[in-house]
Amino acid sequence: MKASELAVLKELLATPKKIVIVPHKNPDGDAMGSTLALYQYLIKTGHTAHVVSPNDYPKFLKWLPFEETVVKYDLQNKKAVRLIKEADLIFTLDFNALSRVAEMAPALQQAKAQFIMIDHHQQPDDYAVVTYSDTSICATCQMVYHTFEMLDATDQVDAAIATCLYTGIMTDTGSFRFRSTTATTHRVIADLIEKGADNALIHEKIYDANNFSRMQLLGTALTNLHRLEEYRAAYITLSQEELDAHDYQKGDTEGFVNYGLSLDNTVLALIFIENKQEGIIKISLRSKGDFSVNLMAREHFEGGGHTNAAGGKSDRSLEDTVAYFISILPQYKEALNE
C-alpha cells in the first residue's frame, strides 16, 4: 500500500464508522477468511461492522469464527441494502471490479460510502479512495495481515482472526504448494500459528469433510476427464443432470480442476460445469508455468483472475462451450508447448 493511501486509511479509521465488508459472489476460503478477519478487527477497534456477502458459500467454510454474523444479500436483501445505504465505508475484499458481486453491484454503485479495496487480482478497476492491489501476493488474507502490520495492529490478531487468515492463505495457495507461496507467506503463517491458528484442525475442516455423494461426483468428474496431448491440456465436464444425480451442494466441485492439471506433461486444465438455473456454463481454469489463464479467461470466457488460476463463464451449451474451447487451442499451441 502506498504511503499516501495508508495515511488516508488511518484517517478514515481514526473515528468510529459504520462499515460494510464485501467478498465476491460465490465466496471462497480467501474471500470469507479475509472479510471475517477484517470484521473482527474492526469490531475490536470500535467500529460498527458487517460482512455482506452477495450469496451463500460452501458448507466447509461455515465453521469459521463469526461466520454466523454474515448477512447474505440474496437471502436477506432488505437488511443488506439498508446496511450498504447506511455505511460510511465499504471494504471490497478479494475482487477488484464491482461486476464480481453480480446482482449486488447496483446497491454498491448507489452507495454514498467511500470504498477501500484490498485485492490481489490483475487489472483493478478505479472505484476506491484506497486501493491496495498487489498481484504478487498469494492471497487477500495475507494482504489483510500486512494491512494490520501497516496499521501497527498485529497485536489485535487473536486465535479467531488468525484462524480466518490461515484458512484463506492455505486455500488460495493449494496448501502452500503454488509458486505464489513465498518466504514471506511462510513467515506470516508462522505468526498466525503462534497466535493460535490450529493448522491441523483447519486442514481437516476444509479438506477432510467429504460426504459419500461428493466422492461419487468426483468419480463422475474423473470419468469425464479428457486429455488433449497435442496442446498439453486437459478438461473435465459436469452436466446439470450429473450434478443433480449426486445431490450437488455449493462447493462440492472445489479442487476438481486440479486433477486435470496433475496429469503428466499437462500445463492447462479446465472444468466446465453446467448451471441451468443461471443459464450458463461455469468455467475454472488452471495452468502451470508462465501460461496465463487470466488472459484466456478474459479474451474468451468473460472472466479473469491470476496467471495460473482464473474463472469464467459461457452462455453456450455445455457441448458448444467445450467445442469452442477446443477450437481456440491452436492459437495457444506454441505457448502451451514452450
Cα–Cα distance measured from residue 14 to residue 16, given in angstroms and rounded to the nearest whole number: 7
Do 134 and 98 belong together in one domain? Answer: yes
Structure confidence at residue 338 (pLDDT): 84
Cα 173 → chain centroid: 11
C-alpha 71/C-alpha 84 separation (Å) is 11
Residue 277, burial from CB neighbour count under 10 angstroms (0-12, 13-18, 19+): exposed
Number of domains in the chain: 2
Q: Please tell me the distance from the alpha carbon of residue 82 to that of residue 87, in angstroms, as a whole number.
A: 9
Residue with cell 481456440: 328
> Please, where are the H alpha helices in the chain?
3-12, 29-44, 77-86, 105-109, 140-150, 159-172, 183-194, 199-207, 212-223, 240-245, 257-261, 293-300, 318-328, 333-336
Same domain, residue pair 186 and 318: no
The reported pLDDT for the residue numbered 210 is 79
Check which CATH number belongs to the domain holding 260 and give it.
3.10.310.30
Q: Mean pLDDT in each 10-residue stretch from start to end of the chain (338 residues)? A: 95 98 96 98 98 95 97 96 98 95 95 97 94 96 98 97 98 90 97 98 89 94 97 98 95 93 96 96 95 95 91 96 98 94
What's the pLDDT score for residue 145?
98
The reported pLDDT for the residue numbered 122 is 87
In terms of residue numbers, what domain contains 289? 212-336
57 and 168 part of one domain: yes
Same domain, 99 and 133: yes
Which CATH number characterizes residue 189's domain? 3.90.1640.10
Q: Are residues 144 and 100 in the same domain?
A: yes
Edge to edge, the sheet with strand 304-305 lists: 226-228, 233-238, 268-275, 280-287, 309-314, 304-305
Give yes or no: residues 244 and 180 share one domain: no
Instruction: Please give the Cα distance from 274 to 248 (Å, whole number).
Output: 12
Task: Give CA–CA dist 256/260, Å, rounded.
Answer: 8
For residue 155, give the amino acid letter. Answer: D
What is the model's pLDDT at position 311? Answer: 93
With both helix axes pointing from N to C terminus, report the angle between 159-172 and 140-150 in degrees, rounded to the nearest 10: 140
Query: Which of 146, 180, 207 finishes a domain?
Result: 207
Kindly list the distances between the CA atom of residue 270 and the CA atoms of 153, 228, 291, in Å, as whole numbers in the listed order: 40, 11, 13
Q: Dihedrals φ, ψ of 177, to 5°?
A: -100, -15
Who's near 318: CB < 8 A, 6+ residues apart? Answer: 237, 239, 272, 274, 281
The bridge status of strand 48-53 relative to strand 304-305 is: unpaired
Same-domain status, 174 and 221: no
Task: Summarize the chain as % helix, strand, coil (round to 5).
Answer: 45, 20, 35
Q: How far apart are CA 270 and CA 324, in angstroms?
A: 13
Please say which residue of 207, 223, 243 terminates a domain: 207
Task: Report the 10 Å Cβ neighbour count for 208.
Answer: 8
Report the pLDDT value the prediction gives residue 240, as an integer from 0 to 100.
97
Residue 209 is predicted with a pLDDT of 73
> What DSSP character marks residue 229?
G
Residues 153, 77 within the same domain: yes
What beta strand segments (E) does 55-106 contain? Answer: 71-72, 89-93
Of 183, 128, 190, 182, nearest to 165 (Cα)? 190
Residue 268: what pLDDT? 98
194 and 115 share one domain: yes
Type of residue numbered 208:
D
Ranges of H-type helices in 52-158: 77-86, 105-109, 140-150
Asked if residue 218 and residue 78 are part of one domain, the reply reads no
How far apart are alpha carbons 316 and 334 in whole angstroms?
Answer: 27
pLDDT for res 130: 97
Query: Domain boundary at 180, 207, 234, which?
Result: 207
216, 203: one domain: no
**Are 165 and 219 members of one domain?**
no
Q: How many residues does the chain have?
A: 338
